[in-house]
Copies of this chain bind each other. A is one copy, B any other.
Amino acid sequence: MTEQEKAAPEASKLSLDQVFILLEQQDYDQLRLLLDQTHPGQLADLLEAMPPKKRRQLWDLISESQEAETLAFLHDEVRNSLIEEMQPEEVVAAAEQMDVNDLAYMIEELPEHIRQSIEEKLSDEIREHLETNLSFEEGTAGRLMSQDVITVRNDVTLEVVLRYLKLHEDLPEYTDGLMVIDREGFYQGKLLLNTVLTRNKNLLVKEVMNSQHQAILATTDEHDVTLFFEQFHFISAAVVDENNLLLGRIKLDDVIQILRAEADHALMGREGLDEEEDLFAPVINSTKRRTVWLGINLITAFLAAWVIGMYTDTLDKIVALAVLMPIVASMGGIAGSQTLTLTIRGLALDQITSGNRFWLARKEVMIGILNGMLWAVVIAFLSWVWFQDAGISLVIAAAITINLIAAAASGIAIPLILERMRIDPALSGAVILTTVTDVVGFMSFLGLATYFLL
Contact = CB atoms under 8 A, between A and B. Distances in A.
Interface stretch (A37-45, A106-114, A115-123, A128-136): A37-45
Contact of A298 (B20, B214, B351, B375): B375
A432 to B, nearest CB: 14
A305 B323 CA distance: 5
Contact of A8 (B39, B193, B217, B370): B217
A155 interface: no
Interface in A346-363: 346, 349-356, 359-360, 363
Contact of A279 (B48, B300, B309, B360): B360
Contact of A305 (B39, B217, B327): B327
A279 B355 contact: no
A56 interface: no
Contact of A45 (B277, B350, B374): B350
A16 B326 contact: no
B294 A375 contact: yes
Q: Chain A: interface residue count, which band?
A: 35 or more
A297 B334 CA distance: 8
A252 interface: yes
B244 A6 contact: yes
A196 to B, nearest CB: 7
A230 B253 CA distance: 8
Interface string A185-205: 011000001101111000000
A380 interface: no
Number of copies: 2
A291 B262 CA distance: 29
A356 B331 CA distance: 37
A25 interface: no
A10 interface: yes
Interface of A: 3-4, 6-10, 12, 15-17, 19-21, 39, 41-42, 45, 48-51, 162, 165-166, 168-171, 173-176, 186-187, 193-194, 196-199, 211, 214-217, 220, 224, 227-228, 230-233, 235, 240, 242-244, 252-253, 256, 259-260, 262-264, 266-268, 271-273, 277, 279-280, 283-284, 286-287, 290-291, 293-295, 297-298, 300-302, 304-305, 308-309, 312, 315-316, 319-320, 322-327, 329-331, 334-335, 337-338, 341-342, 345-346, 349-356, 359-360, 363, 366-367, 370-371, 374-375, 378-379, 382, 386, 438
- SS class, residues of chain A in contact with chain B: helix
A230 B374 CA distance: 47
A323 B308 contact: yes
Given A193-B193, A197-B162, A353 B294 contact: no
Contacts of A301: 326-327, 330-331
A15 to B, nearest CB: 8
A90 B131 CA distance: 54
Contacts of A211: 6
B198 A193 contact: no
Contacts of A253: 230, 233
A175 to B, nearest CB: 7
Nearest to A387: B309
Contact of A280 (B283, B330, B363): B363
